[in-house]
Amino acid sequence: MAEEFSTDGMLDIYLFENEQLLEQLQERVLEQKDADCFDEDSINEIFRTMHTIKGSSGIMMFDNITAVSHKLEDVFYYLRESHPDNVPHLQLVEHVLEDSFCNSRFYGLMLLLAKDICTQSTAPLYLMKSL
């Protein structure tokens, strides 16, 4: 009989890797904050970062984090493929910094998970309540 899939041993790796990704994302977005728009390299890097966070969150069954990451990934896919004009850059910067969890709320959630104060199934609820 097959054993049930468990993500317990992967939580530390998830927390470590995603904390690094979020720091890199925040640095990249802040570098571009005063520009007129995101440059091509930034768009590609932000897209890849959100894709990675989406995938790892999906594996961990953090559905709400996966959904938000997917939406931001889609935004940067659109920017990369369509090259639209008149993108409200400052609003997009603020949205990425707030909604991609590049703030203390997501870091706090990661700590709650690491200290077993909340579980993998209740973690998204903690996050959503803090937003």
* Domain boundaries, given as residue ranges, for the chain: 8-102
Q: Can you tell me the distance from the alpha carbon of 2 to that of 78, in angstroms, rounded to the nearest whole number?
A: 41
114: closest CA among 41, 1, 18, 32? 18
Q: Write the pLDDT tens digit of every residue in 80-125.
A: 999 988 888 888 888 787 765 555 555 555 555 544 545 555 544 4
Q: 8-102 sits in which CATH class?
A: mainly alpha
> What pTM was estimated for this model as a whole?
0.74
Q: Can you tell me the distance from the alpha carbon of 25 to that of 117, in angstroms, rounded to the nearest whole number?
A: 27
Q: Write the pLDDT tens digit of every residue in 16-27.
A: 898 899 889 989
What pLDDT was estimated at residue 62? 78
Q: Write the pLDDT tens digit of every residue in 23-58.
A: 899 899 999 999 999 999 999 999 999 999 899 988
Distances (CA, A) of 87 to 15, 45, 50, 83, 92: 32, 18, 19, 9, 8
